[in-house]
A = this chain, B = another copy of it.
Amino acid sequence: MDGMKRIERALSAAVEQSLEAALSHADGPTCPPLLASAIRYAVFPGGARIRPRLCLAAACACGEDDTSVADHAAAAIELLHCASLVHDDLPCFDDAPTRRGKPSVHSAYGERIAVLAGDALIVLAFQTLARGGANAPYRLVPLLSIIGRGVGVPSGIVAGQAWECESDVNLREYQQAKTGSLFASATMAGAAAAGADPGPWRALGDCMGEAFQVADDILDAASDATKIGKPVGRDVALGRPSAVRELGLHGAIRRLNLLVAEAIDSVPVCSGADGLRAVIAMEASRLIPRELADSVL
């Protein structure tokens, strides 16, 4: 378990360092100060950073020869995730007053800067990807395609959010796009960054994305706001689909455990498969409080 803690710390440090490096290009005297400040505010301090950690863990398991490509890809994925949170929180969507335990970006900086900070984060993600691919242009093409697909149209996180504006929603499509897509991008990008075939890595991302979504539903229904840093009961209030509403609290926890087992089973054959399975188990154990997870045993 000491070894796992070391790996965990190394993954976290690599993610924060890559994000810091990415944001250093957004600062400087030519950048409007409010925008620069809001971008930093949206990225630090972070949440669980689960997507970039998965990306790095996948690249590591594939035996990457150059950590720089995966580091940049992981940062790009987290920047895109942060961008989506900033825009999702806007008054016209969730009108969320808080995020990660502090005022949301539009609450702190106003709506205009929040729109622009989201835009700038999306662009910065692709600039970051380009920097990472400078020495490996042949890996850049699949990386751009994988990450673009996870975030854009027709079925990335932006499309997922747009399903909330439709009267006739395909639930599976909605959840896959809104959450699953960027998780699938994370594991596939990790493989592609290491020069491996990304195809077999989609299932792991899909399972982890769905597990994360179910965990989020469980937290939204069972936890209190101080613990998760954003208002609770909101998804239900907004009429969003929820695993808890569909399966009940215990049913949802059982479903979460099943998805984690499926994720661990889906790790493709690779040099670091055993280590990656341990990392996934560790990441999964942090999704919901232990006492909730144990309540179905």
A contacts, CB < 8 Å to B: 25-28, 30-36, 39, 83, 87, 90, 92-93, 110-113, 115-116, 118-120, 122-124, 126-127, 129-131, 133-134, 137-138, 140-141, 144-145, 148-149, 151-156, 158-159, 161-166, 173, 177
Contacts and interface: CB of A to CB of B under 8 A. Distances in A.
A145 B155 CA distance: 26
A35 B111 contact: no
8 contacts: A25-B154, A28-B154, A32-B162, A34-B166, A93-B115, A119-B158, A120-B162, A130-B145
Given A34-B165, A123-B156, A137-B138, A93 B118 contact: no
Majority-rule SS of A interface residues: helix
Nearest to A148: B127
Contacts of A35: 153, 158-159, 162, 165
Nearest to A134: B141
A129 to B, nearest CB: 8
B124 A152 contact: yes
A157 to B, nearest CB: 9
Nearest to A35: B162
A153 B123 contact: yes
B133 A112 contact: no
A123 B120 contact: no
A173 B118 CA distance: 21
Nearest to A124: B152
A154 B25 CA distance: 7
Residue with the highest number of chain B CB atoms closer than 10 Å, among A36, A153, A164: A153
A120 to B, nearest CB: 5
A191 to B, nearest CB: 17
Contacts of A159: 30-32, 35, 120
Contacts of A173: 30
